[in-house]
Amino acid sequence: LLKAELLHARIKQHHLTAQQRLISSVDLLGRIGTVMPHLTNWLMNRRSVRHIMGRMFDLTDQRPLPEFAHRRFDRWFAKHKSLTTPHRGRVILWDDTFVRYHEPHIGHAAVAVLEAAGFEVALVSKRKCCGRPAFSMGHLDLSEELGRHNLALLAGGDENEPVLFLEPSCYSMFAEDYRELKLPGAEAIAARCYLFEDFMENLLRQEPDALKFDREPGRIAIHLHCHAKALTDGKSAVRLASHIPNRAVKLIEAGCCGMAGSFGMLESKYELSLKIAEPLLQAIQQQPYGTTVVVSGASCRHQVQHLATVRAKHMAEILAEALA
């Protein structure tokens, strides 16, 4: 918050930079990029295009950019029909920018798990970006505008329906930052918000048979997002994975991945981002062969997959793959 307020004061004095405008608009970029994803991905994979963007916005051309999905998650969900009968009530799944436009498979997995557990799943109609990218740039006017819109949407529904988040940085906006921005209704909505991992672990702790899993042996190593460490009982992810039979589960004891949202995308911060990531990368490389690496945050997964050449998975994918 201190950093955001300092950057906000600079914006008020000197106006928004091109970089701040770009990063504050990642949800808009997702909408544009998924119109013609094949063409967009081809362009973004060209080093010359990344070099031009780097010169314009101080972005490193050494970092691969997230690919745009061929089918947006919200459009898949609009045509999705559950094969189970809900008996536990309804939950709201917050489809964040990365799940919606870049990693819809994570949303598919979360829906499969929630429906298998007996929940009816709904998305937030007409939701906007949570405002985290703008907040990180100090663009607090935009963060407040987005926050007011999203809080009003959730306030208009059933006040007892849980709101679940797959991305910890989005969760932090609802659980903490909207309240620090003193947005009306933030306190009441924050009480309904849960990380997907925390919500599922609480369910399985109370009802161990709520989900049926296979008994295939395996190893799971979990890296926690910094917001999950700061705002929740981070070890709930370890307990959740431990509900799957015959899995050896461990927490990777390392600090920040070094990506920190857009931080690791900046040319001026790229080398520092790599240095910060070294303990995590060493810990991943020391895992036994065949270990599945679980990484909860989108930027963390981006860092790991770029530097460790492993496909990091979200916990929702692990649970969905293990369903009997």
**Tens-level pLDDT at each residue, the chain (324 residues):** 888 899 899 999 999 999 889 999 999 999 999 999 999 999 998 989 988 988 899 899 998 889 999 999 999 999 999 988 899 999 999 999 999 999 999 999 999 999 999 999 999 999 999 999 999 999 999 999 999 999 999 998 788 899 999 999 999 999 999 999 999 999 999 999 999 999 999 999 999 999 999 999 999 999 999 999 999 887 899 999 999 999 999 999 889 999 988 899 999 999 999 999 999 999 999 999 999 999 989 999 999 999 997 889 999 999 999 999
CA distance 62 to 306: 10
| CA neighbor of 223 nearest in space, from 165, 291, 173, 297 | 297
Q: Structure pTM? A: 0.94
In this structure, the dihedral spanned by the alpha carbons of residues 210, 175, 151 and 160, taken in order and rounded to 10 degrees, is: 30
- Cβ of 288: how many Cβ atoms within 10 Å? 8
Which residues, including other chains, have CB under 8 Å from residue 3's CB and lie 6 or more apart?
Answer: 138
